[in-house]
Amino acid sequence: MDETTQLRLPPRAEETTQLRLPPGAERPAEKTTQLRVPTPAEIEARSGAEDPAPRADRGTASGRRGTRRKPAAPSALAGRWARIARRLKPAYPRPGRTGWRRWMPSWRQWLGGWGLAIGLSGTFLVIAYAATDIPQNLNTYATQQDNVYFWSDGTPMARTGWVRRQAMPLKDIPQDVRWAVLAAENQSFYSDPGISFKGISRALVRTIGEGNTEGGSTITQQYVKNVYLNQNRSVSRKFTEAMISLKLDQKMSKDKILEGYLNTSWFGRGTYGIQRAAQAYYGKDVGELNASEAAMLASLLKGAGLYDPTLSQANHKRAVERWSWILDRMVKIGKLSPAERAKYTKFPEPTTQSQTFDTGKQSDYLVELATQYAKKAAHISDQQFDLGGYQIYTTFDRKRETALADAVTKARNKALKDDPKTAKTAHYGASSVAADGKILAVYGGPDHRTQGYNESNATTVPAGSSFLPFVYAAGLEHGVHKTRDSTATPVTPETLYNGDDNIPVTTPEGPYWDRANKKVAAHNDGNKSWGQISLRKALAESVNVPFMQLGMDTGLDKVRQTAEAAGLLSSTMGPQVPALSLGNSTPSAIRMANAYATFAAGGSHTEPYSVRRITRNGSQVALDTPRPKRAVSAEVAREVTEGLTDAFGTAHPTAALSAPETAGKAGTTADDTAAWYVGTNRSVSTAIVLYRIDLTKSLEPLPLKGLAGTSADDVPYGIWAGAMSPLG
């Protein structure tokens, strides 16, 4: 027989025992115990019968103190709420449960908690929505400015405005262009409330969990971010964006929002707005774009730095994939017919060069250099820089720039007149750099608008014998090793080396053999032999043989290390073979001038720079300014400078009379593909390089064929002298 017992006993409860007969005669009767709660009248009657005296006492006391009001009986509604509250009140551990279930809230408690949370959240959102106002003023993303560049003397040099805003009415933007953007960014634009709850939730989870935000913004949200808010990636900005978007969606038509978005979005290449993007990438107005071109431009909205196909091969691959995806999506949402989609099988390649600068011939190259340096040194992103408002104070000297450009132009015009066929493929790179690293002037080419690369910064042709000073400096700085693992033996400018032509290069083990199993031998200009010659004289006379052997004795790794410490880039250094000492490296004119300036600075090297100060709307912008570093000792720098002074005096004795402290050296290559002159006067080094390349055929250098002149009329030196004039 089973017995069930109820645990809670009300006062005066009576226990009664009943027998419950189960069906069937074979089973015994079951005994059950029940409790009967007496009525209030029965309780009162029993209390009076059992204890009359105390009641009389209480009545007497009541008479003495006055009659107390009995509490009102609770109403039925109050009782019901009380019972609900008792049920919702957590009781831990929960009775009647075992194990982990004892500690879990009931479904009623879960439901109540969720209801409370939803209620509070809803109240908060209603208050936030009511308290959020649409800003009255557009931010700088919608009010672009130009950037102003200044010469070293503080006078204006150039102005560039990436966004010369030309807002296009939506009616002038083709439907294919609109839907390419909507298919890529927000296909439900015309039906959503201005925000994407799913996207916001995903963004919040990413922000809280990983510290950054994720996409999911609608067109309306992106437009709000573009014109009203900043680009900070934070939860508070995302929340404000959502509230403004909800209100804007109620106050502004969808077409107006789309029009604003298309005219304020960033497409890369310095362009804000679909009209400027069409011009920058395809050289046409937005009204002339087809669906394929529109899809390519729409892909840029995901990040122009990643999807501009002209920037890298990886970008190109990403752009093609997204372009194809957007066209397919347009078909899926019914905005492009399958037949028309079938026409677009070839990716619409944009122009490879955007007309970014249009300030004048040489100043375009200056602006390009300064812009690249400003972004890097001030840590300014392309997108931030394109917003404009920067004042960029460059290191460019107006007088030196004019003199350098005039000298190169004069030589170029003379060559075109004397030998137009050969001169047609001639290129002239030039740069002047101060001993403290300031780039004072460059010659980048005839016209930036027709030639999109800077010849002063090109790393195309070998340095030739203009590289010898770095070998000389390495030997003086580190000494030489005549036997393997021996202690370095010092060398001086007067140390003698064999200067005869066609002398095999030796190592401690014997002659140096190349991969063709031939002995490597050095040759002097004109195959002239000099016999035993001091290193200082060998530098002055540009004798190659001693320096090829000096490089081997010093160690080609030391030669390379010294050249890079002086200012040459490791990426332009040639193979580490004996020819390294004879200039198989391909430095730019800017780097050669900067490296020679290291010797003029007493062996202290400062990286070349083109911007000395940046402000934005009058406020200073933090700028990383290069600091000098020791490249070679001051004594070695002095000895190299003396050798270069001898070289200048030997080659140009008349000029040396008026400028006795001028140091410089010509550079030639064995295959006659480049001619250099690099020299220093009054702490300013200038490098000139002349070479030939037919860009319509290949990037391989061609023989100069007399374009560099003769020893009596050396064209690179003539340009150098004209740029450095007066030399006194």
How many folded domains does the chain comprise? 2
Q: How does DSSP classify residue 353?
A: -
How far, in Å, are 393, 599, 716 from residue 657 at the CA level?
Answer: 37, 22, 20
CB atoms within 10 A of CB 195: 21
Banded model confidence at residue 616, pLDDT cuts 50, 70, 90: confident
pLDDT tens, residue by residue, 405-453: 999 999 999 999 999 999 999 999 999 999 999 999 999 998 877 777 8
Residue 214 is predicted with a pLDDT of 41
Overall size of the chain counted in residues = 728
Determine the pLDDT at residue 596: 98
What pLDDT is stored for residue 676 in this prediction? Answer: 97
Contact 574, 682 (CB under 8 A): no
For residue 320, give its domain range.
173-343
| Paired tokens of 405 | 């450009």
Q: What is the mean pLDDT of the chain?
A: 82
SS (H, E, C) 471-500: HHHHHHHHCECCCCCCCCECCCCCCEEECC
Q: CATH number for the domain including 281?
A: 1.10.3810.10
Reported pTM: 0.64
CA angle at residue 574 from 572 to 578, to 5 degrees? 155
CA 457 from chain centre, in angstroms, equals 22
User: Which of 316, 343, 370 is the last residue in one of the domains?
Assistant: 343
295-316 tens-digit pLDDT: 999 999 988 889 999 988 999 9
Position 455 in a domain: no
In a domain, 523, yes or no: yes
Q: If DSSP codes are grouped into helix, strand and coil, which group holds residue 156?
A: strand
Highest mean pLDDT: which range of 208-222, 588-602, 707-721: 588-602
Residue 511 falls inside a structural domain: yes
How many whole angstroms separate alpha carbon 619 and alpha carbon 615?
5
Is there a domain that residue 505 lies in? yes
pLDDT at res. 361: 73
Task: Average the pLDDT over 140-147 and give the result.
Answer: 63
DSSP per position, 142-189: TS---EEEE-TTS-EEEEE-S-------GGGS-HHHHHHHHHHH-TTT
* 177 and 324, same domain (yes or no): yes
Mean pLDDT within 224-234:
59
Average pLDDT over residues 142-163: 79
Query: pLDDT value at position 376?
Result: 96
- Residue 534 domain flag: yes
Domain boundary among 313, 343, 373: 343
Reply yes or no on whether the pLDDT at 25 is more than 50. Answer: no
Name the band, by pLDDT with cuts 50, 70 and 90, for residue 58. very low
- Please give the average per-residue pLDDT across 635-648, as a whole number: 97
The first and second tokens of residue 122, run together, are: 């809803």
575 occurs within a structural domain: yes
Checking if the pLDDT of 470 tops 90, the result is yes
pLDDT one-digit tens code per residue, 350-369: 987 655 554 667 888 999 99
524 domain residue, yes or no: yes
Q: Per mean pLDDT, which of 128-142, 332-346, 703-717 is the most reliable?
A: 332-346
Comparing CA positions, the residue from 274, 304, 283 lying closest to residue 350 is 283
Condensed to tens digits (0 to 9), the pLDDT of residues 677-710 reads 999 999 999 999 999 998 888 888 999 999 998 8
Residue scoring higher pLDDT (114 or 519): 519
Q: How high is the pLDDT of residue 1?
A: 45
Tell me which of 546, 568, 584 is where a domain ends.
584
Position 54 scores a pLDDT of 45
For residue 434, is it within any domain? no
